[in-house]
Chains A and B, each alone.
Chain A
Amino acid sequence: MKKVLVACGAGIATSTVVNSAIEEMAKENNIKVDLVQIKIAEVGSYVDSADLLVTTAMTKKEYPFPVINARSFLTGIGVEDTKKQILDELQK
């Protein structure tokens, strides 16, 4: 099972929405996923265990896993592309 970090600045607002969208998407596609909702500042403690970071608070930091920008879940613009990117990673 993939461990997916869902992060925003505060870990309370936008990540909540994104977390739920990914949960639903995984269910629709019959994929089991371990979602962890955190503040972006907490990503560091997961570098060894996570497979993917989906975030509305993109950072310039480099991580050993892919990072996907989740803004489209909020604006609706380009959301299908973002979902596909996430799905591709989950199915790897």
Chain B
Amino acid sequence: MSDIYFDESIILVDLEAKTKEEVLTAMGENLEKQGLVKESFIPAIIAREAEFATGLPTAGVSVAIPHTDVEHVNKKTISFAVLKDPVDFGVMGDPDETTPVKVIFMLAMDKADDQLSLLQRLMQIFQDEAALRYLAEEKDASAIKNLLAEKLDFALEGGE
């Protein structure tokens, strides 16, 4: 796995938000603060989510995978958040429907290619109900980091 930034600082637990815009802003500000994304990232990801929703009604716990174009990203990362209370996201491919999302994987991708295996492993987590339930309940960012690193097969890099 090439140089993905992944450590506890991009894992947000018990995130309080009332709307999907608040979720995207809080997660995006955290990434921006660390220089991982550009200023343009937050408006871009909010606009993209409004146009092409990314909520996925997965088994057990709904997830969302907000993302946007590569030019808003400085360093490839996947930010993870567990929401204190579920927030409605539009369903991917069914713009008129929403799903109550508890778990967010915000993809900040810096290249259009070379991320197939990472994405495939991510999709495997979405299809793993036990893992999703664990992630939705876990309060310890370090435990979440370890589980995701294992499931996503990261060679860890980051500022610890």
Q: Which 7 A-B pairs have the closest CB atoms?
A: A9-B52, A76-B127, A58-B93, A12-B112, A57-B52, A71-B93, A69-B93
A20 contacts which chain B residues (CB < 8 A)?
A: 116, 120
- The distance from the CB of B20 to the nearest CB of chain A, in whole angstroms, is 15
- Which B residues contact A (CB, under 8 angstroms)? 48, 51-52, 54, 56-59, 65, 67-70, 91-95, 107, 109, 112-113, 115-116, 119-120, 123, 126-127
A77 touches B58 (CB 8 A): yes
B93 touches A55 (CB 8 A): yes
Q: Interface residue count for A (Cβ, 8 Å)?
A: 23
Q: Which residue of A lies closest to B51 (CB)?
A: A9
Residue of A16, A40, A56, A77 ringed by the most chain B CB atoms within 10 A? A16
A-B contacts counted at CB < 8 A amount to 74
A75 touches B59 (CB 8 A): yes
B120 touches A10 (CB 8 A): no
Using known A-B contacts A20-B116, A76-B127, determine if residue A13 contacts B107 with beta carbons closer than 8 Å.
yes
> A70: CB under 8 A from chain B?
yes
A16 touches B127 (CB 8 A): no
Q: Which residue of B lies closest to A12 (CB)?
A: B112
A74 contacts which chain B residues (CB < 8 A)?
A: 56, 65, 92, 123, 126
